[in-house]
Structure 1
Amino acid sequence: SNPLSLAFIPQGIALTFYGVAGTLLATYLWVAIVLDIGGGYNKFDREAGEITIFRHGFPGKNRRIELKSKLADAQAVRVDIKDGLSPRRTLYVRIKGRREIPLTRVGEPVSLTELETQGADLARFLGVPLEGL
């Protein structure tokens, strides 16, 4: 190929572009951390007979994500384990009329024994089968 036909982009412009892109990404991540997006709790109340799963979402009218169901509507607890380049270990609860709801935090490293113990304890508490092992 002919080197004279190559487009010349000054190094300063390229570095400015990457600097701005990195700053915007870092700002987005810090806002997500400060607002605790994805944070929340799982509450299984035997006295009230209710399952409550609460999460914080992005700012707006749907900031609070709260799913409530009866304990009797729980069908199963599932453990999802995927190893490899990007390993994933997640605990799900399946409720009638809804899709599977994840109970573990994203990116939270949970050991296999701890995940199995949590899944077995929750399945025993709810009186449903444990799947995926």
Structure 2
Amino acid sequence: MEIKDNILKQKIINTEKLYDYLVNITVFLGSVGFLTAGISSYLNKNIIPFIQTNEISFIPQGLTMTFYGTLGLLISSYQILILYSNTGEGYNEFNKEKGTLNILRNNFPYNKTPQIILTYSINDIEAIKIKKINNIFNVKQSILICLKNNVEIPILDVRKPLNLNELEKEASELASFLQIPIRT
């Protein structure tokens, strides 16, 4: 969070980018293996010498491996493209001088608009809300802005669970800058 001349700017970045790249590259390589095994079983020939696919019949094993290999290649390639293009990253800018809140996020690179920009009046903001959802395997933490017309806009989604004190500190800094209350 950066405050300068009545302007508060929060950068939104993917802190788990290296981990996401590693997972998607692993899926990509596994998919190449599945696709190669499926094609090898169809041709009844080992395309890669150290992978023995002689005993795999094309129907149903080879066909299934070809399907999942192709699907994995498509999904992992798409995910890597999203990571590379920084889709979803951006910033939140609270400008007291202009009285505006600008939410800017990078869009998918091949869209007509390279960025998504949402603008709201600071006067329409009623409160800051902290939202925490605990599931068995997933914890979702968010800081939301509550507008006067009962609209809640997420401005910060936390992938990695934060200590509740850290989340509250982030929300309280924002609330004190805007001079509005915090809801839970």
Which of the five TM-score ranges fits, normalised by the shorter chain?
A: 0.7 to 0.9
**Total equivalences in the alignment:** 125
Identity %: 34
Q: Which has the higher helix share?
A: 2
Q: 1:17 aligns with which of 54, 58, 67?
A: 67
CA shift in 2, pair 1:51/1:116, >3 Å: same
Runs of at least 5 residues in structure 1 that lack an aligned partner in the other structure: 1-7
Match of 1:32 in 2: 82
Question: How much does 1:97 deviate?
Answer: 4.6
Residues 1:112 and 2:156 aligned together: no
Partner of 2:3: none
Contact kept in structure 1, 2:141 and 2:158, CA below 8 Å: no
Task: Quote how far apart the aligned CAs of 1:99 are.
Answer: 2.5
Could you tell me which residue of structure 2 aligns to residue 70 of structure 1? Answer: 121
Q: Distance in 1 between matches of 2:150 and 2:104?
A: 15
Runs of 4+ in 1 over 4 A off after TM superposition: none
Q: Is the 8 A contact 2:143 2:157 kept in 1?
A: no
Structure 2, unmatched stretches of 5+, are: 1-57
The alignment partner of 1:9 has SS state of helix
Whole-angstrom CA distance in 2 between matches of 1:66 and 1:16: 41
Q: Name the Cα RMSD after superposition.
A: 2.0
Deviation at residue 109 of structure 1 after TM alignment: 3.9
Q: Which amino acid aligns with 2:69?
A: G
> Per-residue deviation at 1:69?
2.0
What's the CA shift string for 1:31-51, capped at 9, x where partnerless?
A: 111121111101112233221
In structure 1, the residue matched to 2:111 is 60
Aligned to 1:5: none
